[in-house]
């Protein structure tokens, strides 16, 4: 399985949803970086509130000594919760619609762990989150901050970040909330809609907006190693991601050239800036110094309460399939830190080429 990402920094994710543990190995991190463990706890808690209470948390096996990175591979285990699992025995012959049961069975000739999605489960976003949280701490000590919020859920839309003037304080303000939105009232509506969907056995999708501020101009490369490429490759490691936009995204298709252009000017500090930010902080795969803005579309979780149709892979006949309804009707809120983690990883791996990184 292609669960190793290697681009200056190497990230290898392992484990299955119903196995004893999942984990990650992160290699080529700069040595001597201070890592605050409690801050890691808080980042991971945002992905799945409550799961890390009572001491269940990542066990760091190597790569950190006296709270600093050693330069050796950083290996971490995350124990899977011990809960009574439903019967997954039918999934190797009756794949769930919207899941990777069918494609995984074909790709791995039926030998893949099909229990609750196995290695395809969004449970594997936990080690990805951990790796990105480590990178985030390294970036923040250099003044670079990444933050995200639930921009839209089922058509209910939060305020957008100010694409030109979004600040570190704006990002930290959302990060500190129990429900990751800018506008409290819109968040209340989203929560009510999620509860209604859950009661009806349905699920909801949405859009996450992420911003990175204080990224110096000149980070990245053209063609195949651009910032967009790296962010996109990591982002599609999150199950449920169906689309990405940078800056104005698909709205540029409605513009003429003069509307899309972001005019340059020199601000009061002598820095080159742009009056608008349709380019989302990246030009030619390289950071412009403006806030990096990316939006991510998340599909509704396929675990809904309605009876669904599938194909029995043994008989090749259509059968009805009742899937146990998901405990959550919308995964968008807890994917917010996962999105931040991916941007953290992408930025740090490119920052390591920056002349003044150390």
Annotate 194-207 with DSSP letters as a single string.
HHHHHHTT----EE
Question: Could you tell me which of 194, 202, 200 has the C-alpha nearest to residue 153?
Answer: 194
Using CB atoms within 10 Å of the CB of residue 208, give its burial: 0 to 12 exposed, 13 to 18 middle, 19+ buried: buried
Phi and psi at 125, nearest 5°, equal -75, -15
Secondary structure letter of residue 305 according to DSSP? S
- In this prediction, residues 50-65 reach a mean pLDDT of 68
Tens digits of residue pLDDT in 60-71: 999 999 999 999
Q: Above pLDDT 90, what percent of the chain? A: 65
Q: Report pLDDT for 339.
A: 98
Strands (E), 104-247: 145-153, 156-157, 206-213, 241-246
d(CA 256, CA 74) in angstroms, rounded, equals: 48
Residue 324 has pLDDT above 80, yes or no: no
Phi and psi at 79, nearest 5°, equal -70, 135
Quickly state the pLDDT bin for 178 (edges 50, 70, 90): very high
Strands (E), 103-225: 145-153, 156-157, 206-213
When mean pLDDT is compared across 75-79, 139-143, 154-158, 273-277, the lowest value belongs to 75-79
- Which CATH number describes the domain made up of 4-351? 3.60.150.10
């Amino acid at each position: 399985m292609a669960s190793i990402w290697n681009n200056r920094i190497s990230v290898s994710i392992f484990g299955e949803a119903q196995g004893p543990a999942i984990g990650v190995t992160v290699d080529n991190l700069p040595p001597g970086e201070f890592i605050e463990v409690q801050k890691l706890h808080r980042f991971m808690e945002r992905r799945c509130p409550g799961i890390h209470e009572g001491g269940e948390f990542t066990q760091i096996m190597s790569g950190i000594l006296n709270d600093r990175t050693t330069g050796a591979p950083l290996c971490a285990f995350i124990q899977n919760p011990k809960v009574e699992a439903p019967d997954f025995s039918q999934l190797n012959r009756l794949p769930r619609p919207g899941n990777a049961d069918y494609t995984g069975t074909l790709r791995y000739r039926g030998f893949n762990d099909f229990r609750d999605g196995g290695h395809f489960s969004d449970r594997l976003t936990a080690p990805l989150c951990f790796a990105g949280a480590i990178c985030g701490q390294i970036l923040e000590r250099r003044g670079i901050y990444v933050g995200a919020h639930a921009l839209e859920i089922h058509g209910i839309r939060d305020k957008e970040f100010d694409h030109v003037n979004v600040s570190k304080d704006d990002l930290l303000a959302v990060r500190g909330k129990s429900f990751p939105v800018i506008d409290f009232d819109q968040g209340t509506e989203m929560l009510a809609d999620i509860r209604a969907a859950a009661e009806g056995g349905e699920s909801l999708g949405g859009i996450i907006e992420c911003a990175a501020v204080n990224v110096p101009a000149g980070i990245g490369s053209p063609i195949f190693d651009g910032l967009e490429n790296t962010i996109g490759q990591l982002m599609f490691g999150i199950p449920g991601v169906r689309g990405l936009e940078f800056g104005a995204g698909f709205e540029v298709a409605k513009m003429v050239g003069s509307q899309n252009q972001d005019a340059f000017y020199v601000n009061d500090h002598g820095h080159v800036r742009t009056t608008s930010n349709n380019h989302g902080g990246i030009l030619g795969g390289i950071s412009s110094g403006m806030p990096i803005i990316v939006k991510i579309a998340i599909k509704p979780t396929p675990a809904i309460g309605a009876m669904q149709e599938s194909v029995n892979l043994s008989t090749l006949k259509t059968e009805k399939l009742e899937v146990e309804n998901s405990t959550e009707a919308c995964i968008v809120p807890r994917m917010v830190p996962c999105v931040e983690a991916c941007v953290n990883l992408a930025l740090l791996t490119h920052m390591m080429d920056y002349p003044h990184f150390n």
